[in-house]
Amino acid sequence: MSDAQELIDCVASYNPKSSRSLLLSAFNYGREKHDGQYRRSGEPYFSHPYSVAMILAEQKLDDASIVTALLHDTLEDTRSTKKEIATQFSSEIADLVDGVTKLTNMQLTSSETKEAENIRKLLIAMAQDVRVILVKLADRLHNMRTIKSMPALKQMEKAKETMDIFAPLAGRMGMQSIREDLEDLSFKVLNPEGRASIIRRFIKLQKETGDVVERISNDMMQELEADGIEAQVFGRAKKPYSIWRKMQEKELAFSRLSDIYGFRIITESEADCYRVLGVIHRRWRAVPGRFKDYISQPKSNGYRSIHTSVSGRDGKRVEVQVRTQQMHDVAESGVAAHWAYRDGERSENPFTVDPYKWIHSLIEQFESEDDHDAFLEAVKLEMYSDKVFCFSPKGDVIKLPKGATPIDFAYMIHTRIGNRCVGAKVDGLRVPLWTRLRNGQSVEIITAQGQNPQGTWLQMAETGKAKAAIRRAMREANRQKHIVMGQELARAAFEHVGKKATDKVLETAAKKLRIHNTDELLARLGNAELRARDVVHSVYTELTAEQQPEVDSRRAVIGLQPGQSFKRAQCCQALPGERIVGIVSQGQGVSVHAIDCHSLARYEDTHELWLDLHWHSGTHGAIYSVTLDMTISNDAGVLGRICTLIGELKSNIADLEFIERNPDFYRLNIIAELRDIEHLHALTTVLEAEVQVTSLKRLRHGKPSVNEQMTF
């Protein structure tokens, strides 16, 4: 049961001068008016206004706000009147309760025209006293915490309204903790499977890595203490919805998502904030492009903090926010900090903004707007600060994520427009396609027949829709290249068994493998979805059946004398399927070279050392190392993708060495263990098809990955 003394003590803890009699009177009045009323959960109804009051007490709000929370449903659900509340308490509290009641009666997710008018009323109510919306946000937060007792359809309706209206509004007012809670509670209703998946993966991660937050927090405290800085360090995992949103925006799997932990460092002074930043960047490697200084350039709601991301333990990224206690109070409470108390006095926080400025400026800007739709979009444009709203030449509003480019805009209109995009005009001026769009801009997409998406567009695009369409179009564009590559692989594979890859043979193979046509067969062969050996086997089973048993690695080379050992020369790294020759080395056995190896020039005058050798025609194991010289783009997940592709082709990575590291590309040598030359062709085909691989060649002077000396 709700306890008046608990609430009174909570308020007194931050405001010893609060009126205990006023709070007790409001508590008793509300409980009496709601006596006999119950929530759907079966609890006494007064437990709800009491919980709303406790939420506001956690924000350290004034007595009038706490009393309003206790009484906020009395006008709507009981026989209480505004006049009665004004008489018993005050006209100020009566106006606040009346304002909350009017907000409750607004249906904010109805038709567009009505929605615009209701949001206009909401802003006007806020302009009269912003505490009205603070009570309403606390009211919605508690309702979302107890939403399970409502019918399923009602849950979905309230969750969507919360996600669309109240969570962004809380964020715009700087009340980040309430915004995060509202978003996550809505996420739990709107996508329970997605949220449960995030939680399961997070629990698994914690079991594998232990308490990362505690370890990193301790590391940070040690570094700060060593530098003589007085500060507090707080760490936590981000909310499931925050993680989910980042996964969707970045198109990353959970395993590739790094910065799921956030840390806040609270200092004693602004100067210490910058000292802390220096300590953090000296100890950990800063992530480029992830630094923001909101102290020197505060947000419009008064938010001040330094943001940076660094690579912590095990290369994991963590986000770090550095601020003073006063900055932290505003960061947590936003405009609510305007009414906050500390030590019995209204907090004189120098970073608290006038809560009415934003409301009045918004109303003044649009008070003469007769077009409800335009008004609605303009208001949303202000409230959804993490979204970008742009206009098409026809006046249509296109909603995009922050950081979107004309490429995203084009694909949002239509996939065909995106594929044919050759340029863009923003507010009438020609701009590069990588330009980041801003709120309210007018965007015109320039198209041309014959244009196809470029690989660089993937780095420019921000939305999943654009990236998926670009990849799909590029796969189609690469189809012809894959067919040509498939023809070459098929030719080599059939010649290997003494046959030719005629049209008739390929048609038969396609039919046997249940593939629609020959082109599809060759395309799959060219992009490594299909093995050349399987194509040959589908037609000439009797010829390939003999090749199925794997060749003994010690008998892989034919032409050696009994007792002779051989090793592959690392200058050419010959593979089964290539023509080879042996060079007898005194006391070192026989070195096997490819017939075109440049090193053979040294033995032109000593033909007695040459041996005529050839590879066994059977199936070899993936034990022959080949060094690949590769250049890839320096983007998150690219190297992991390359390694995955190599593994999918049944090849093992024996060694990996970085040759160059640059901000936009890596050059590296990968030693892959392969079966034969066909295996190498299949691997290079797949890697060359990757957009992020800018160059690839076989290196003929690599180092051995295993002891390749064998005895016949």
pLDDT digits (tens, 9 = 90+) for 484-543: 778 878 887 787 777 888 888 898 888 888 888 888 888 888 766 777 878 888 887 766
Residue 389, beta-bridge partner list: 399
> Taking a C-beta distance cutoff of 8 angstroms, is the pair 701, 687 a contact?
no
Contacts for 497-506: CB closer than 8 Å, 24+ residues apart? 497/536, 497/540, 497/543, 497/544, 498/543, 499/536, 499/539, 499/540, 499/543, 505/539, 506/535
296 lies in the same domain as 182: no
Q: Quick one: CA dihedral 409, 290, 302, 161, positive or negative?
A: positive
- Which residue segment(s) compose the domain that 661 sits in? 624-711
Q: With contact defined as beta carbons under 8 Å apart, do 551 and 616 qualify?
A: yes
669 contacts 656 by C-beta, under 8 angstroms: yes
Cα gap 405→409, rounded to integer Å: 7
From 456, 485, 503, the end of a domain falls on 456
pLDDT (tens digit per residue) in 63-73? 999 999 999 99
Q: Are residues 646 and 516 in the same domain?
A: no
- Each residue's pLDDT tens digit, 410-455: 999 999 999 999 999 998 899 999 999 987 788 999 998 888 888 7
**Cα–Cα separations (whole angstroms), residue 308 to 153, 274, 311, 317:** 41, 12, 10, 10
Closest CA to 504 of 532, 539, 528: 539
Q: Is residue 178 part of a domain?
A: yes
Distances (CA, A) of 693 to 179, 518, 680: 41, 28, 16
- 441, 424 contact by CB (below 8 A): no
Question: Is residue 360 included in any domain, yes or no?
Answer: no
* CA–CA gap between residue 659 and residue 625 (Å, rounded): 19
- Domain membership flag for residue 373: no
Q: Which run of H or E residues covers position 268? A: none
Q: Which two tokens stand for residue 47?
A: 């437990």
Residue 709 confidence (pLDDT): 42
Q: What is the pLDDT of residue 609?
A: 85
Report which DSSP code applies to 22: H
Provide the pLDDT for residue 222. Answer: 92
Residues 558 and 688 in one domain: no
HSE value, Cβ hemisphere, 13 Å, CA-based, for 280: 31
**Which domain-ending residue is among 598, 615, 632?**
615
- Give the separation between CA 633 and CA 662, rounded to whole angstroms: 9
* 375 belongs to a structural domain: no
Q: Is 607 helix (H, G, I), strand (E, B) or coil?
A: helix
Tell me: do 411 and 559 sit in the same domain.
Answer: no
Continuous segment of H or E residues that includes residue 433: none
| 630, 670 Cβ separation under 8 angstroms | yes
Are 408 and 452 in the same domain?
yes
605 and 522 inside one domain: no
Dist CA 582 CA 561 (whole Å) = 12
Look at residue 251 in the predicted model and tell me its pLDDT.
55
Is 210 among the domain residues?
yes
And the tokens for 631? 């250049």
Tally Cβ neighbours within 10 Å of residue 584.
17
| 197: nearest Cα among 206, 185, 188, 207 | 188
Residue 129 phi/psi, 5-degree rounding, is -165, 110
Residue 543 has a pLDDT of: 63
How confident is the chain (712 residues) per 10-residue block, as mean pLDDT? 82 87 94 91 92 90 92 91 93 90 66 54 69 90 92 89 82 81 91 84 73 85 92 87 73 58 91 93 85 83 86 74 89 67 57 62 54 50 59 80 90 92 90 86 89 85 83 77 80 79 87 86 78 81 56 76 83 89 80 87 81 82 87 82 81 80 81 88 82 86 44 39
**Do 565 and 440 share a structural domain?**
no
Per-chain mean pLDDT for the chain: 80
DSSP 239: P
Distance in angstroms (rounded) separating the CA atoms of residues 525 and 532: 7
